[in-house]
Every structure is written in C-alpha cells, then in structure tokens.
Chain A
Amino acid sequence: MLRFIVRRILITIPTILVVISITWVLIKLAPGNFYSGEKQLPPAIEKSIREKYGLDKPWYEQYGKTMWGIVRLDFGTSLRYQGQSVNTIIRRSLPVSAAIGILAYILALIVGVIAGSIAALKQNSRYDYISMALAMLGISIPNFVLGPILVLIFSLTLYWLPPSRWEGFPSRNLVLPVLTLSAIYMAYIARLTRAGMLEVLRSDYIRTARAKGLSERDVVIRHALRGGLMPVVSYTGPALAFLLTGTVVVERIFALPGLGNYFIQASLNRDEPLIIGIVAFIAITLLLMNLLVDIAYAYLDPRVRYQ
C-alpha cells in the first residue's frame, strides 16, 4: 500500500508542473501581451510597468520566478485588479465555487445512486426506461441551455426563486445554480450505478448471499451496493474535472463571483499572473483529489494495488 501511494505521489508532482508549464509556454508564445489590447501607453510608462512586473527579464528568469512562487504557493499580483494579489482573489472566490460544486456533487450522488440502483433492480421495467431516458437527456442538454430555461421557468414565470447573484452560503440563490450544475453528474452517476449494479447482481456472491437466506434489502444494501458503486468511485476523478468546467459556465450564467468567472475574465484580459495562478491552483487541487480517490480506490478494491 505504501509503495502504491509513493508511486502515485511521484506521478502527481511532475503532472502538476507539466500543466503549469504548458500554460506558461502558451501564454508566452502567444502574440501580444496584457498592454497591447489597451489604449496605447507611452513607451516610458510601459517600460516602467514591465520592469515592475519583471516582464523585461529573460524567459528563464521569468519562468523560474513563476515556478518558485508556485512552489511557495505565492501566485503574485494581478495585472488587471491592481494591488490585489492572486492569492487574495482565489481566497475570495473559492468559497463560491466550492459551495455550488460540493452541493451539486452531493445532490448528484444521492439522486444518481438511488435512481440508478432502482433502475438496475427493476431492469426493463417502465421505471428503468423512463429514468434512463431522463439520464440520457441530462447528458445531452448543455448546462448553458438548462440554466436559462430553469431561470425562465422558476424566476421569470413562477417568481419562486431569484435568478442570479451571490448572497452568501445558505441562500435561495443557490438552488438554480446547483440544480443546473448537478444535472449532468446525476445523469452520469445514475448510468454508472445502473451498469455497475447490473453486473454485480448477476455475480456468484450475490447468488450466495440470496441462497443463505438474506433478505433482499440486506443483499442490495450490504452486498450489491458495495461492488456496484465501484464505477461511481472511479468516476469521482473525472467528475471533479467536469465539475470544475461546469462551474465556469454556471458562474457565468448566474453571475456568481467564483473562481471560474475570474478565470474567464483573466483569459479575456490576458491577466497573466491571474491565469497562471488559477490554473496552478486548479491543477494542484484536482490532482490531489485524484490522488486521494486513487488511494481510496486501492483501499476499497485490493486488486488495484497489485497491478
């Protein structure tokens, strides 16, 4: 087990560095810079700004400085939001993204697992077909279409829920963003649970459990779910990445000041330190989560460790 964890960590660290380096190279290779879009600055002023942010140094010094900053988790100062450090912006916007992301994932997990398990237990019933058709719809409908349609129904027609804005953590404003974000994971998790459960329900150990006289309830909850949910556990890694890209859209639609919204703004503004800071933060979080998922998976399923 220890060897497995060490090997995973040894892969994770270079991966994080690769992501950040790719982003850095893309930004530096691209024509133009932060100032080229703005109104023309007098050369003297542009020169002094470039000096201030170290943009006049050779590339290896800039790269080294960025990387050294990231190692110390200090991402520098934003060009656009003057005087604000990237760390401040991340600290301010992360709770927003985390709130809707975590709520959406929990909701998706609960609904998806229940719907998927029932569909598998009642395979080929009307319930099975309807829930799987709904799941397919959830996968097919883009969240930027679903979100506005929900707003149209629940805010602009029925006046039940506010359409946008961030008003702190437990608030009615979160309902629509969370629903919009979780729809696709609900659908994926329901499909994965159904497929996993169908496979497990046919296996020998379930037959044994039934043969020794366990109630159907015990068979499903104690034995089948444990094996049947393995695909869902291994989907957690990709789901986190998806969740992240999902929040970008949801934050745009509902005007929430989250990480994703700042990232899009930074990309449009060419705010280099902010772009690299957010990418680095996302890469580190995502890959650490993946690491945890892998370790959890290896713990739950002993076969993985010895591959």
Chain B
Amino acid sequence: MAVAEADVHPDEAGTFVHGTSLWRDAWRRLLKNKLAVLGLVVVVVVTLGSIIGPTVIKGVFGFTPDYIPTHNINATRSLPPFTGPGGEFTWTHPMGTDNAGRDQFARVLQGGQISLFVGILSTLVSLLIGVTYGAVSGYLGGRVDNVMMRIVDVLYSLPYVIVVIVLLSMFRSQTPRGQLILLFIALGSVSWLTMARIVRGQVLSLKNQEFVLAARATGVSTTRIIFRHLIPNTLGPVIVYATLTIPQIMLTEAFLSFLGFGVQAPLASWGSLASDGIQNIAIFPWQLIFPGMTMALTLFSLNFLGDGLRDALDPQMRTV
C-alpha cells in the first residue's frame, strides 16, 4: 500500500504519513474493543497451542497424540477428564481419553492444526480467486463487468454445499493427504463470491481517482494498474472479510468431516473428532464436548476479531 501511494504521490509526503497512521489508528481502535482483543488473544493461544502443544505434551508426559496405552486392556479405555486408569485424580489427561485410550487434549490440539490449516489455506485460495476476479471486473467495467457479475449472481444462488458433497464423495481420494487437498480446493473455490463483490465495489470507487489516471497517463499496463495500484488499496476490507471467511470455512469443513466426506483417519480435525464423539455421547460425553467446544470458542473468537477489525478499519461502519 505504502509503495503504491509513494509511487503515485512522490511529492506529497503527507499522504504517505497519513497512510501509515491509518493503520496505526485502526490498531488503536482495535485495542479499545475488549471483545476483539479477547478474540485475538484466544485465536493466538489456540493457534500456538495447536502448533507446539503436541510437542510440549510429549516432553512433559511422554506420549504423542496417537499413543495407545498397552496396559489395562480390559478396563474401560475412555477415561473421564482429570482421571487416571485407577479412577484417581491426575493432571495427565485434562480432557480425558478417547475409546482407544488416546489423550483427548493432545488429539484436540492436533485436530486444531488440521482445522486451522484447512481454514486458512482455503481462505487463501478464495482470496486469490475473489480478489483477482473482483478487481478485474471492477476495473474493466462495462460489458465485461456486467457478464462477470452476472456469473457471480448465478453462482451465489447455487446449493454449493450439495455440489461439494457430490465432488468429495465421487472423487474420494485413497490417501488422507489427497482428500485434504481436494477439501481445500473445493472449499476455496466456492467461497470467493462475496470477496469478489467486496473488492469490485472498492475498485469501482478507486478507479476514477487521480492516482489511477496518473498511472494510466504514464503508460502503466492494465495488469500492473490492477495488481500494483488497485488491489493494495483494497487491503482493509479484504483483511476484514478474510478474517470472517476463516470461521465460515472451518465450519463447513467440520460439517463435511462430520458427515464423513472431509478429513479422513489417521488425520483428524475438530469436526471429525466431534463426529467420533457423537457415537458415544450417552456414555462418554467428553469425547464430543471438548473438541466441539474448542471449535466453538475458536470460531467465536475469530468472529469477534473480524467484527472488531471491521469496526476499526472502516470508521463509517463504526457504531459509536
């Protein structure tokens, strides 16, 4: 953003300084919003926990998320939270264990890796498609814009989850990794529509400004104008909407995994863990409650963070 504006207004140092202070200003406003800050903290904690948690648990207690204990084969394997094999209190399994005796806490943290990974990567796929599509449509305008936006309108009304289910079940991959790749391509390629509309709206209001005219006058190519000058200036709304897209995609991923079309064993996500837990809801409720609630907490925080970012970056939307 700074680069583009510096290019265009080399003589107006004030504009450049204003550009940075906009972000600092937004950051200050975000910090004033307690719920958004709380959301940010939870998201950071959950993300870090998912990345390093399993390693830390291995260091402290000496087992990995997929470690299946070999002792007490005949006893009930699924232990309640904070309970050892003999029914005594212990810190070893704060979320209990699953049917095979694996530690739930470690499983939930590891599941978080996949859930967050799918959420973020699919959002990146949708960003790539949506931003490019919206910017091209908005900048070219006229008939092209008309056709491109009509296509978006049509796609909007499709029952896309139904089509995604057909895609995932028909092309079910033999390897869990293959299924994962299929999953985020499918999710990313159906969730770019709103992003395209937002970026198009931004570009429409930007493209008649002087800096674009100046760029065009100096012979900058259309591609370069779109990617170097217009897209960087749409960054604010794009970040906001991307933050709100991540929880939506994570929810869809969980939904698909719950139905058995998403992440496959031995990989696990919060959705597939919850799905496993539902089988035993009457006897071992903690198998559903912990992955389900961890997921709900994360989505809750991401949504608050996204709302907070929108209020911070878009003063017009601010409700004072």
Contacts and interface: CB of A to CB of B under 8 A. Distances in A.
Interface of A: 11, 14-15, 18-19, 22-23, 26-27, 29-31, 123, 136-137, 139-142, 144-145, 148-149, 151-152, 156, 198, 237-238, 241, 244-245, 248-249, 252-253, 263-264, 267-268, 270, 275, 279, 282-283, 286-287, 290
Contact of B159 (A14, A149, A241, A267): A241
A142 B292 CA distance: 8
A152 B170 CA distance: 34
Interface in B233-292: 247, 251, 254-255, 258-261, 271, 274-275, 277-278, 281-282, 285, 288-289, 292
A137 B247 CA distance: 12
A148 B278 contact: yes
A267 B319 CA distance: 46
B278 A244 contact: no
Interface stretch (B52-60, B95-103, B215-223, B299-307): B299-307
B165 A15 contact: no
A275 B271 CA distance: 24
A244 B161 CA distance: 9
B300 A136 contact: yes
Looking at chain A's contact residues, the main secondary structure is helix
B41 interface: no
Given A23-B166, A26-B167, A144-B278, A237 B157 contact: yes
Nearest to A285: B159
A145 B293 contact: yes
Contacts of B275: 144
B251 A290 contact: no
Interface of B: 150, 153-154, 156-163, 165-167, 169-171, 247, 251, 254-255, 258-261, 271, 274-275, 277-278, 281-282, 285, 288-289, 292-293, 295-297, 299-300, 303-304, 307, 319
Contact of B154 (A11, A152, A156, A263): A11
A282 B158 contact: no
Contacts of A30: 170-171
Given A15-B157, A19-B163, A27-B170, A140 B300 contact: yes
B196 to A, nearest CB: 16
Given A30-B171, A137-B296, A15 B158 contact: yes
Given A19-B158, A268-B260, A148 B281 contact: yes
A18, A136, A152 pick with most chain B CB within 10 angstroms: A136
A231 to B, nearest CB: 14
B150 A149 contact: no
18 contacts: A19-B159, A22-B163, A26-B166, A136-B304, A141-B299, A141-B300, A144-B254, A145-B288, A244-B159, A244-B161, A244-B162, A245-B162, A249-B255, A252-B258, A268-B260, A270-B170, A279-B162, A282-B162
